Chain A
Amino acid sequence: MSQRGAQVMSSGLPGEIVQLTMEHLWLVLLSITIAVGIALPMGVLLTRKRPLQGWVLGFANVVQTIPSLALFGFLIPLPLIGGIGQHTAIMALILYALLPVLRNTFTGILGIDPAVRESALAMGMTDGQLLRLVELPLAARTILAGVRVATVTTIGTATIAAAIGAGGLGVFIFRGLASVDSTLLLAGAIPAAAMALLADGGLGWIEKKFSPV
């Protein structure tokens, strides 16, 4: 963090805000993309292999209950994924983002009218066709709602990532806390809040494009 911090110091507050916002955005986008990449297929798998449900959802639930600062702390000593810096933070953010996407994929697919699934099977759809033509389109709205929740919470949680040297808008917040400077606190909090609102609005807009069926 020291190197990045020094860089930030030299460029005046507005410049810093832009730079840290971009860093923050990068943390969030990368974590969400990877989390969706893991949780979506896993949610689909859970609808096929019901016995796994309890274990996987249970694990994701437990992760969700770990306070974020503690989770960052737990990850630091781990080999490969641990240490100080962005990759540890991204790992933690992915773990947090898994549950909403996983759960919504799973419930979205299971919530489809059984008559619709039955007639798809009776018409001789293969499992792949059932998923691609029926289940994913009909669950899209619910899945997107999960992605939206995950994104908004990740934007918030990512501010804590600065504690382990991952950068982002949390840098301002921690610095503001340390120096009891509310301008610095706001310089971190306002862009993070704005980002969360924009993400919420944007993803909500996309969600509504999918008809509620």
Chain B
Amino acid sequence: MTPIVEFRGVSYRINGHHILRNLSFSLAAGETLVLLGRSGSGKTTALKMVNGLLFPTEGEVCVEGMPTTSWDPIRLKRRIGYVIQEAGLFPHFTVADNVGLVPKLEGWPPSRVRARTGELLEQVTLPPSEFSLRYPRELSSGQRQRVGVARALAADPALLLFDEPFGALDPVTRLELQNQFLALREQWGKTAMFVTHDVREAMRLGSRIGLLHHGALEALAPPEEFRRQHGDEAQAFLACLDLK
């Protein structure tokens, strides 16, 4: 079966700096790959390669078997849900308009957009009757992030990208949202790529963990196996697990 995402010898260089070095890995359907790394390790850059916000300077990234450079850039982005830190919601749109945006751009009839929006808000535990007409500034940061997740899911994408979505949340809310993420994944079986610098989050959410260090992939293993990694960078992250 064709992997949903495949990195083939991907490097990214800007102004002589190597941001990514020769990354090769693939993502099978239904899997959650967590890219773990320090700030500046290149994990966000790698994520942006998948939906064509950036393109490799060497190698290629294939989505559903086709290089991102061959995709129509708009089609590619609309097939992939994207969630970022602080959600990046449109401040002048209501919650419902934020969630329904991609379906609307895709030309769905308004009644179908409304139904879909309501269904998604229910699923991220924001009752539409209460939240549909609110503006992002009237929500807590946890609620905003939920809206961000609902928005990414709206047009039923096969693949979801998460760029440190829970990084700015308090620990309690973060745990709630992580649990919700796991529940939604259970329910839908979506494929996801998830970027974080939090090793505990990586262990909880990942079916595999890819450790990035200075733009190179240092380790790629399921959580249980990742625990037994010996590399310095892996050890540095694993040390954070024992701090409890």
Contact = CB atoms under 8 A, between A and B. Distances in A.
Nearest to A123: B102
A168 to B, nearest CB: 39
Given A115-B84, A122-B51, A123-B105, A138 B92 contact: yes
A128 B85 CA distance: 25
A33 interface: no
A136 to B, nearest CB: 10
A126 interface: yes
Determine chain A's interface SS by DSSP, over half rule.
helix
Size range of the chain B interface in the assembly? 20 to 34
B92 A123 contact: no
Given A123-B78, A123-B101, A125-B105, A115 B88 contact: yes
A115 B86 contact: yes
Size range of the chain A interface in the assembly? 10 to 19
B75 interface: yes
Interface in A5-46: none
Contacts of B92: 137-138, 211, 213
B66 interface: no
Contacts, number: 55
Given A115-B84, A118-B84, A119-B82, A124 B90 contact: no
A134 B84 contact: no
Contacts of B87: 115, 119
Nearest to B75: A124
Contact of B77 (A116, A122, A134, A137): A122
Interface in B30-89: 51, 53, 73-78, 82, 84-89
10 contacts: A115-B88, A116-B89, A116-B90, A119-B82, A121-B77, A122-B53, A123-B77, A124-B73, A124-B102, A125-B105
Interface of B: 51, 53, 73-78, 82, 84-92, 101-102, 105, 137, 151
Interface of A: 113, 115-116, 118-126, 129, 133-134, 137-138, 211, 213
